[in-house]
Amino acid sequence: MESRPIKQAVAMALDTLGMDGPVTRRAIAEEVMRYPPPWSVSDEYGAKLALVQREAKVQMNAPHSQEFIERHMGHVPEEIRDTIRNIPFYICISPRGGRDAVHVRALLATKEHWEANFALKDHIVQATRLSRDESRDIRDLLEMTGAECLADLLNSVKAA
């Protein structure tokens, strides 16, 4: 996103709605759209691009059709049929994934592609584990201190 007014509008919506409790990204977007800031040409292009990318992601992550799978399942050993049924149409082969990650059709993926996909998923598992541990640590801190939320805890430290 290029536009400073849009970034500022999103920041304001995050600030305002976030103070009321849990919020969805859709609610933030709808709040910004109630009083839309000026959009630049590159903002509009970026928004359209993001919409198309989301649809591409949906289709790339979809499994192969049941008809296709059943037609070709005769060549697949019994012990891995469930695995084959569950693979998506495309797999990611970029080391860290992300918006500009490279994907390959699952049926055309080589051993190296599958290894790259495995490494990516392993990275995601590790990052999720770290994030989970941080959440547990914050929960434990709140429990230990009796604070309702981090803001209560931080404000009491500031006041002391």
State residue 37's pLDDT score.
85
Please answer whether residues 147 and 139 qualify as being in contact, where contact means their C-beta atoms are separated by less than 8 angstroms.
no
pLDDT mean values, one per 10 residues, the chain (160 residues): 84 94 94 89 90 94 86 84 89 90 95 97 96 97 94 74
What stretches of 35-149 show up as alpha helix (H) in DSSP? Answer: 41-61, 66-72, 81-86, 111-145
Bridge partners, residue 74, by sequence: none
Per-residue tokens: 72: 């070709």
State residue 157's pLDDT score.
61
State residue 1's pLDDT score.
56
State residue 159's pLDDT score.
53
State residue 99's pLDDT score.
81
**HSE (CB half, 13 Å, CA atoms) of 131?**
6
Residue 134, phi then psi, degrees to nearest 5: -65, -40
Q: CA–CA separation, 9 vs 29, rounded Å? A: 9
pTM of the predicted model as reported, rounded to 2 decimal places: 0.76
